[in-house]
Amino acid sequence: KNEVEQSPQNLTAQEGEFITINCSYSVGISALHWLQQHPGGGIVSLFMLSSGKKKHGRLIATINIQEKHSSLHITASHPRDSAVYICAVMPGNQFYFGTGTSLTVIP
Amino acid sequence: EAGVAQSPRYKIIEKRQSVAFWCNPISGHATLYWYQQILGQGPKLLIQFQNNGVVDDSQLPKDRFSAERLKGVDSTLKIQPAKLEDSAVYLCASSTGLAVEQYFGPGTRLTVT
């Protein structure tokens, strides 16, 4: 059983489209992270949030603690957004990772 | 600020051989993590250090994997002997403490043939 489920697994979008990636988790958490992983393996932390909503540029992350659900939105998507987006939750000191959503944005 | 450094970036070995990976965390970061990421999966925690002490190594296959962080700074992860199923990207991450944002290195891609 995976504590973190992401959907969709794969997503293809046209440049400019609004994109939503979802994350559901089954454990109580202190925080949730959205991470971006480009081909080649490097991981970059996009957001760490424990409530509400955060925005950075074209990226918006929301979390609903009661529903154990978070979403990552990308507005005006661009080919450089193509990457794997990973949701990770922290029930304590350890991270539990989702399997990731592979996003491809086509020009 | 320099990021998390890892070496080598790529390694190809034959099964039953040994391999070692090195990680240099961000200066001042007390917590260091080693993850294994198999293709198509999310990272899996292998071991977590707080300074030079082990916080969690429950998912480390201790019959073949070992890790150390002797001076509380750099860390090495060793596999001896390697198996085909060890082919993965090995990620190192560091943070200022427990339960806070982690910063990831570029990873080492290991191929076992």
Q: What is the DSSP string of A28-40?
A: --SEEEEEEE-TT
Interface test with B, best of A9, A34, A56, A93 (most B CBs within 10 A): A93
Q: What six digits make up the tokens of B97?
A: 């403490």
Q: Which chain A residue lies closest to B59 (C-alpha atoms)?
A: A94
Q: Which chain A residue lies closest to B6 (C-alpha atoms)?
A: A42
Q: Which chain B residue lies closest to A6 (C-alpha atoms)?
A: B42
Query: CB–CB of B104 and A31 under 8 A?
Result: no
Distance, in Å, from the CA atom of B64 to the CA atom of B60, rounded to the nearest integer, reads: 9
pLDDT of A41 reads 66
Distance, in Å, from the CA atom of A73 to the CA atom of A62, rounded to the nearest integer, reads: 8
Q: What is the mean pLDDT of chain B?
A: 93
**CB B11, CB B108: distance < 8 Å:** yes
Shortest distance, CA B101 to any CA of chain A (angstroms): 7
Pick from A59, A73, A70, A78: nearest CA to A98: A70
Using the predicted structure, report yes or no on whether residue B109 has a pLDDT greater than 90: yes
Strands A101-106 and B108-112: unpaired
pLDDT of B1 reads 63
Percent share of chain B, pLDDT over 90: 80
Buried b (16+ CB within 10 A) or exposed e, B79-104: beebeeebbbbbbbbbbeeeeeebbb
Average pLDDT over every residue of B52-67: 93
Using the predicted structure, report yes or no on whether residue B105 has a pLDDT greater than 80: yes
Question: What residues of chain A score a pLDDT lower than 70?
Answer: 1, 41
Of B67 and A93, the structure prediction assigns the larger pLDDT to B67
Does A95 reach chain B within 8 Å, measured CB to CB? yes
Which positions in chain A touch B105 (Cβ < 8 Å)? 42
